[in-house]
Structure 1
Amino acid sequence: MDFIIKEDKNISTSQLQALYEDVEWFAYTKDLDLLQQACLQSLDVFSVWQNETLLGLVRIVGDGLTIIYIQDILVLSTHQNKGIATLLMQQVLNKYKKVRQKVLLTEEAPDVRHFYEKNGFISCDKGSLVSFAKLD
């Protein structure tokens, strides 16, 4: 596969809409300007492109020193299971290897659990940590 990786927060709303709607994350596309601002205000955004098509991205928030939070990681449905998400995750883990806390919250699914575990994450239900979330 011929693609490039970018570390750039400035992604057009049309590209974001195409990616987020493809994976059915419609809650994000209700306000595309807000989604674009969220990307711009993130600590980092790594994206994978094939020509002018956004294939996937990972968005990071946090201070970048003691904690990062992986807010979004998504790949076009036609390009899933081709190593793109792993490549994006490795970009994050390499850049922030000195950061002690790397946190994320995601939906439960066997393939999702496997993906994060193979990238070195431990589910809070299997360790000594507890996780809380308040979603409004």
Structure 2
Amino acid sequence: MNGMLSQQPPRRPAMEPALPLINVVFLLLVFFMVAGQISADKVTVEAPLSKSELAEESEGLMLTLDMQGQLTHAGEPVTLEGIAALLPDSDGETPPPVRLLADAGTRLQAMRPVLKALQQAGVEEVRLVTREAR
């Protein structure tokens, strides 16, 4: 019976290589790690020290002014002319105070144009954000 084919057990299908799957998972992991690092404020500013009691405030507009005089709101650059567009409609009422986080090394000459633009936009009160001295 040399003419008969020998019976071999059926071959298993080859296992799919795991390397492409691992690569995809790794790329997704890296993507979400990078995407998860979106920051609200991209400017590094160190607030000046204050010896008075600090009040927690969360209402109103918060602007950040760095040592180079760059003004930002929520991490996005703001021009002096664009400040009025950021203010909420007050409907004739006194607008809420604007909080200004200026770096401790910011000179008054850099703050003056910002304060003047806020005044021209109708802001009556500007509060400087500080940190508690210990």
Q: TM-score, normalised by structure 2?
A: 0.33
Question: Higher relative contact order by CA 8 Å / sep ≥ 6: 1 or 2?
Answer: 2
Greater radius of gyration (CA): 2
Greater fraction of residues in strand:
1
Q: TM-score, normalised by structure 1?
A: 0.33
